[in-house]
């Protein structure tokens, strides 16, 4: 049996199945990227809920795995060379899992880099900007009388949705017929924008029919439906 005891994170979140990939996460747009990827690939894993309401992301155990105190993070007992691999940053984890499983990434080198390009588009644009819309629309941003910050992020969110809309014209997914990690990275954020953040009307989502079409196809996937709920939040 694989011994993960040298990793401090397993002291707070013990591995019941140490031979499986360990996922430390929360069902947020960034967190579910990895649970959806794992569900899509069928790779055995064990999820652990990192409770932000208990400030667990700031615990010494979690920081030993991710010094940036963000979810998701993984500990793969069967990493390169058969050695355990700790890894954080959702985009890096998606790339790693695609390479590990040989799934959800085009084999052709040019298309591989094109997929990475759209993954980075999500990481650098959609995630941060949509998150700011959520802050200024649903959370503490409502306390600000000056609406210029909110309007700035709404305008940028609309611009980014326009980029997606154009890209998806005549395409089933971001890479055409190929469903890839670029989609797994992107659509949880779009889903969160119009769902949890309740900002669909604010950004004019009805004006982006291709975006709505692909979002509907994404959330209809069984692996996505499962992954969106992993790790399961505790009952209120």
Task: Tell me the mean pLDDT in the region 130-146.
Answer: 88
For residue 236, the model assigns a pLDDT of 60
Q: Is pLDDT of 1 > 70? A: no
For residue 141, the model assigns a pLDDT of 78
Beta carbons of 99 and 61 less than 8 angstroms apart = no
For residue 132, the model assigns a pLDDT of 96
Q: Give the pLDDT band (50/70/90) at residue 140.
A: confident
Domains of the chain, first to last? 9-103 (3.40.30.10), 109-221 (1.20.1050.10)
For residue 145, the model assigns a pLDDT of 83
What Cα–Cα distance (Å) separates residue 175 from each residue in 7, 12, 160? 38, 40, 17
pLDDT digits (tens, 9 = 90+) for 36-59: 999 999 999 999 999 999 999 999
Q: Give the pLDDT band (50/70/90) at residue 147.
A: confident
Q: Is pLDDT of 113 > 80? A: yes
Q: Is pLDDT of 67 > 70? A: yes
Closest listed residue to residue 173, CA positions, set 190, 193, 150, 149: 190
Q: Is pLDDT of 34 > 90? A: yes
Q: Is pLDDT of 233 > 70? A: yes
Q: Does an H or E element contain 208, and which?
A: none
Please write down the long-range contacts of 203-212, taking CB distance under 8 Å and 24 or more positions apart.
Answer: 203/133, 203/154, 203/157, 203/158, 203/161, 204/158, 205/161, 208/161, 208/162, 208/164, 208/165, 209/165, 210/164, 210/165, 210/168, 210/169, 211/161, 211/164, 211/165, 211/168
Beta carbons of 65 and 7 less than 8 angstroms apart = yes
For residue 166, the model assigns a pLDDT of 98
| Whole-number Å distance between alpha carbons of 207 and 67 | 40
Buried b (16+ CB within 10 A) or exposed e, 33-46: bbbbbbbbbebebb
Cα dihedral value 112, 191, 132, 165, nearest 10: 60
What Cα–Cα distance (Å) separates residue 88 from each residue in 46, 96, 225? 16, 11, 23
pLDDT digits (tens, 9 = 90+) for 10-29: 999 999 999 999 999 999 99
Task: Tell me the mean pLDDT in the region 132-139.
Answer: 93
Instruction: Write the DSSP symbol of residue 28.
Output: S
What Cα–Cα distance (Å) separates residue 119 from each residue in 70, 77, 127? 18, 26, 11
- Beta strands 85-88 and 73-76, pairing class: antiparallel
Task: Tell me the mean pLDDT in the region 83-95.
Answer: 98
User: How many residues belong to the chain?
Assistant: 236
More confident call, 160 vs 150: 160
Please count the other Cβ atoms lying within 10 Å of the Cβ belonging to residue 12.
Answer: 15
Residue 205 tokens read as 């989502």
pLDDT digits (tens, 9 = 90+) for 175-225: 999 999 999 999 999 999 999 999 999 999 999 999 999 999 999 999 999
């Amino acid at each position: 049996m694989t011994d993960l005891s040298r990793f401090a994170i397993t002291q707070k979140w013990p591995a019941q199945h140490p031979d499986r990939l360990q996922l430390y996460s929360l069902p947020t747009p960034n967190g579910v990227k990895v649970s959806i990827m794992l569900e899509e690939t069928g790779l055995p894993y064990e999820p652990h809920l990192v409770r932000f309401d208990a400030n667990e992301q700031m615990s010494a155990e979690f920081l030993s795995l991710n010094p940036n105190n963000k979810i998701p993070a993984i500990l793969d007992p069967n990493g390169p060379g058969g050695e355990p691999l700790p890894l954080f940053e959702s985009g890096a984890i998606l790339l790693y899992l695609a390479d590990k499983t040989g799934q959800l990434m085009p084999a052709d080198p040019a298309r591989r880099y094109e997929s990475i390009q759209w993954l980075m588009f999500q990481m650098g644009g959609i995630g941060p900007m949509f998150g700011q819309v959520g802050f200024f629309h649903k959370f503490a941003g409502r306390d600000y009388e000056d609406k210029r910050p909110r309007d700035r992020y709404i305008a940028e969110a609309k611009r980014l949705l326009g980029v997606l809309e154009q890209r998806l014209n005549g395409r089933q997914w971001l890479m055409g017929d190929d469903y890839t990690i670029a989609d797994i990275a992107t659509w949880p954020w779009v889903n969160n924008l119009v769902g949890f953040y309740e900002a669909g009307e604010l950004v004019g989502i009805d004006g982006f029919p291709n975006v709505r079409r692909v979002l509907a196809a994404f959330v209809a996937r069984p692996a996505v439906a499962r992954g969106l709920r992993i790790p399961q939040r505790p009952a209120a």
